[in-house]
Structure 1
Amino acid sequence: MEAFLVSTSLVTLAEMGDKTQLLTLLLAVRFRKPVPIAFAILFATILNHGLAALIGNWLMQWFSADVLQWILAGTFIAMGIWVLIPDKLDQGANYLERWQKYGVFLATFILFFLAEIGDKTQIATVALAAQFQSVLLVTLGTTLGMLIANIPMIFIGQKLADHLPMLWIQRFAAMLFIVFGLVIVVRALL
């Protein structure tokens, strides 16, 4: 259960102000169909984070527990620093134009899946799966975290984004990643 709760918490916080959250807002404004957008985000995240968790679990087979602890500690600390760097969606509304022909669900699924590749939440999923050695609980946790952070963007949109203290949310998420990394370092040293 710890794997699920930690995965949900870290990804929810890390996702605040992330490019996929901005993408969700753009998709909601463009398509104005919240249900297919929400389901597409759900399925894209399950697929993307499921694969990331499998990679994290696979890494456990290639590295000794001692080496992996140091890699994980460094990854979590780096994630904490990365969270402090705000994301931007590079091409904005123009990016959506070429995908619109596929319909709301498929366009959202493809764009969300692609936006998550190499994203901090995907990398966090790899690290969490390696740390907790649970593909299922980490995938479920990180997926729930993504939904907690992104579904409100569909329904509340810009009004919510204007009133959330994103800087403080990002700082808190960064602190959690760094603390989690330092806990791993302390455990490795003891």
Structure 2
Amino acid sequence: MNGFVAALVLSFGVIFVAELGDKSQLMALTFATRFKPWPVLVGITAATALVHAVSVGIGYGLGATLPTGWISLIAGVAFLIFGAWTLRGDELTEEEKGKAERTTGSAILAVGGAFFLAELGDKTMLATITLATQHGWFGTWLGSTLGMVVADALAILVGRLLGRHLPEKFIKYGAAVLFAIFGIWLIVEGFIKVL
């Protein structure tokens, strides 16, 4: 197996397995209950490609790490705000509902921004940095990005199926709880890294 293919396959496998049950996969499931699947997947893909490009750059070129503790703290606070915002809720008229279903830009930005913050300093970022120190940068970047997107696409499918069969109130409270859990998780990770 040549270097590119080995880096691609290894990175895909490692990141796919690391992502199973990870907070990012749970986030994808949560977002999929609120937005159409394609904007969620586009947001995840864009954020993942960017974070993993940074990871590969660090691992391949510098061998250094970002101050991930502070990034985790900021992301954690952001997720607590997302949870409170979800609980507050918004009421849409029928016209606004139709427009919201057609609008994908804001969903892409919301999902992409949330995933970008959540992935900075995450185990998949650190795994990608480690892989990039030992393998080619392009194969590592492509494999790690694809591994994460495929794992999160599975969560999106599950989220869409749940969204069709669960009452809206249950989804709202469930999403708020998940955002709060992500926020607390990130804050704890941040404090551990900072201290």
Q: TM-score, normalised by structure 1?
A: 0.61
The answer to whether residue 53 in structure 2 is matched with residue 13 in structure 1 is: no
Say yes or no: does 1:94 pair with 2:83: yes
1:157 aligned onto 2:148: no
State yes or no: 1:121 paired with 2:124.
yes
Alpha-carbon shift at residue 120 of structure 1 (Å): 0.3
Match of 2:145 among 143, 146, 152: 143
Following superposition, the deviation at residue 91 of structure 1 comes to 3.8
- 8 Å contact from structure 2 (residues 47, 116) kept in 1: yes
2:34 alignment partner, one of 5, 30, 36: 30
Q: How far 1:49 moved relative to its partner? A: 0.3
Distance 1:91 1:148, change over 3 A: same
The runs of 5 or more residues in structure 1 that have no matched partner are 63-89, 161-190
The 1:96/1:54 distance shift into structure 2, 3 A limit, reads farther
Letter of the 1:58 partner, please give it. Answer: G
- CA gap 1:112/1:135 in 2 versus in 1, 3 angstroms: same
> One-letter code of the match for 1:11?
I
Please state whether the residue corresponding to 1:30 is helix, strand or coil: coil
Write the deviation string for residues 95-138 of structure 1: whole angstroms up to 9, x where unpaired.
Answer: 6649x9x8201000000111101100000000000011x22111
What is aligned with 2:43?
40
Distance in 2 of aligned mates of 1:21 and 1:129: 23
Partner of 1:55: 58
* Equivalent residue pairs, number: 129
Give the Å deviation of 1:2. 0.6
In the alignment, what sits opposite 2:184? none
Q: Which string of whole-angstrom CA distances, capped at 9 and with x for unpartnered residues, describes residues 127-154 of structure 1?
A: 000011x221111000010012100111
Q: Deviations over 1:161-181 (max 9, x none)?
A: xxxxxxxxxxxxxxxxxxxxx
How much is the aligned-residue C-alpha RMSD, in angstroms?
Answer: 2.7
Moved >3 Å (runs of 4+): 90-93, 95-98
**Aligned partners of 2:147, 2:38: CA distance in 1, in Å?**
18
Contact 1:11–1:124 (8 Å) recurs in 2: yes
Q: Give 5+ residue unaligned stretches, structure 2.
A: 65-78, 91-104, 163-195
Q: Deviations over 1:66-109 (max 9, x none)?
A: xxxxxxxxxxxxxxxxxxxxxxxx649616649x9x82010000
Task: Provide the secondary structure at the position in 2 that maps to 1:148.
Answer: helix
How far the C-alpha of 1:29 sits from its partner, in A, is: 1.0
TM-score (norm 2): 0.60
